[in-house]
Amino acid sequence: MTTLHIAEEVRDALAGNRPVVALESTILSHGLPAPRNREVGVRLETVVRAAGAVPATIAVLDGVPHVGLTDQQLDRVCSDDLLKLSKRDLGAAYALGRSGATTVASTAALAHAAGVRVFATGGLGGVHRGASETWDVSADLDVIARTPVLIVCSGVKSILDMGATLEVLETLSVPVVGYQVDRFPAFYRRESEFEVPWRVDDPKQAAAVFANGDSGMLLANPIPHAFEMDAELHDRLLAEGLELLRTRNVHGKDVTPVLLEHFHTASGGVSLDANEELVVNNAQLAAEVAVELAR
Ligand code: PSU
Ligand code: MN
């Protein structure tokens, strides 16, 4: 198996049991347009540092898995046409010397391999609408169940079947914990109709829940109030996006990027601001939890 390349700053922090936060790269390469993605990538690392943790953005470059990127490497993730690598793709990417951004599944696996316990992202992959016919269920769910990493996210997008996603998480014994909310967040919206089984109100409680479990855990952190998307705009974009998938016959791993693209262009940037702010907010909370875990 290929050796992980861990950035020196990250390695030092891990060796000294100081807080580290892993950051996903698919959100940068496939979830946000250039050059905005680069600004977000830098902002994420900045808020993690400000909260007292070391950021470790994860990606595969020329067949080498990197935990912690240099500025030049972050440039590549944000400008090159990289592959989208889920966990099952890692071996092939290493063997064939390919470059790709990592999803929640592959980022969690690489973070865990490096010894990083906390990870921030925007939205999680899940059960797609119509999955009873297509079987389209993100590998994110199964990998979280098997990988003891705490993932801070803003729930899942309503482009997924949220109820089914929560059912699968229950089946897989993944703890789902709301952060200062009683309902599961719906990415662009603070709350969905679905209740979360557990709620915590500060980073210390979140860290304690994770430390007492043995699997991955979801800490569901709603988008900040000021950036929540208008419900009507949201429902319109969703209906249009789903129609677009049907007419263009989009399947598999292209589904999420195509829907995101539609949201960003058709909302005139409103969804882009929402997306950026919620991820930054998640990176900050992840750093606060990592600080508590390292105590
Ligand atoms: N959901 C989002 N934005 C994203 C993704 C999901 O709101 O960018 C990305 C994440 O990297 C996630 C992946 O891990 O899509 C899931 O892809 P799939 O459904 O193909 O497993
Ligand atoms: Mn899929």
144 close to 213: Cβ distance less than 8 angstroms: no
User: What is the rounded CA–CA span in Å between residue 210 and residue 230?
Assistant: 33
User: What are the tokens at 130?
Assistant: 């119509």
pLDDT of residue 123: 94
User: What is the rounded CA–CA span in Å between residue 142 and residue 152?
Assistant: 16
Instruction: Please report the atom of ligand 1 found closest to the CA of residue 253.
Output: 20
Q: Where are the beta strands (DSSP E) in the chain?
A: 5-6, 20-23, 54-61, 64-67, 83-85, 100-102, 118-120, 150-153, 176-179, 198-200, 217-220
pLDDT of residue 36: 95
Q: Atom 2 in ligand 1: which residue has the minimum CA distance?
A: 123
Ligand closest in space to the Cα of 223: 1
**What values do phi and psi take at 165, rounded to 5?**
-60, -45
Ligand 1 shell residues, CB under 6 Å: 24, 26-27, 30-31, 86, 103-105, 122-123, 125, 138-140, 157, 187, 253, 256
Q: Write down the CATH number for the domain with range 5-294.
A: 3.40.1790.10
User: What is the rounded CA–CA span in Å between residue 250 and residue 244?
Assistant: 8
Q: Which residues are catalytic?
A: 24, 157
Q: Atom 1 in ligand 1: which residue has the minimum CA distance?
A: 123
Ligand closest in space to the Cα of 142: 1
- Mutation pick for ligand 1 pocket among 25, 250, 256, 259 (CB with most ligand atoms within 8 Å): 256
pLDDT of residue 273: 95
Q: Is 123 exposed, middle or buried (0-12, 13-18, 19+ CB in 10 A)?
A: buried
Instruction: Please report the atom of ligand 1 found closest to the CA of residue 187.
Output: 7
| ipTM given for this complex | 0.97
Whether omega before 35 lies within 30 degrees of 0, making that bond cis, reads: yes
Question: Which residues are paired to 101 by β-bridges?
Answer: 59, 84
pLDDT of residue 7: 98
CA 253 to ligand 2 center in whole angstroms: 5
User: What is the rounded CA–CA span in Å between residue 44 and residue 115?
Assistant: 20
- Mutation pick for ligand 1 pocket among 27, 87, 255 (CB with most ligand atoms within 8 Å): 27
- Mutation pick for ligand 1 pocket among 24, 26, 60, 162 (CB with most ligand atoms within 8 Å): 26
- Total residues belonging to the chain: 295
pLDDT of residue 189: 95
Q: Which residue positions form the known binding site?
A: 84, 104, 136, 138-140
CA 265 to ligand 2 center in whole angstroms: 23
- Specify the pTM: 0.96
pLDDT of residue 1: 67
CA 15 to ligand 1 center in whole angstroms: 31
User: What is the rounded CA–CA span in Å between residue 261 and residue 276?
Assistant: 14
CA 41 to ligand 2 center in whole angstroms: 24
- What are the structural domain ranges in the chain? 5-294
**What values do phi and psi take at 178, rounded to 5?**
-80, 140
Q: What is the pLDDT along the chain (295 residues), one digit of tens a residue?
A: 689 999 999 999 999 999 999 999 999 999 899 999 999 999 999 999 999 999 999 999 999 999 999 999 999 999 989 999 999 999 999 999 999 999 999 999 999 999 999 999 999 999 998 999 989 999 999 999 999 999 999 999 888 999 999 999 999 999 999 999 999 999 999 999 999 999 999 999 999 999 999 999 999 999 999 999 999 999 999 999 999 999 999 988 888 889 888 999 999 999 999 999 999 999 999 999 999 999 9
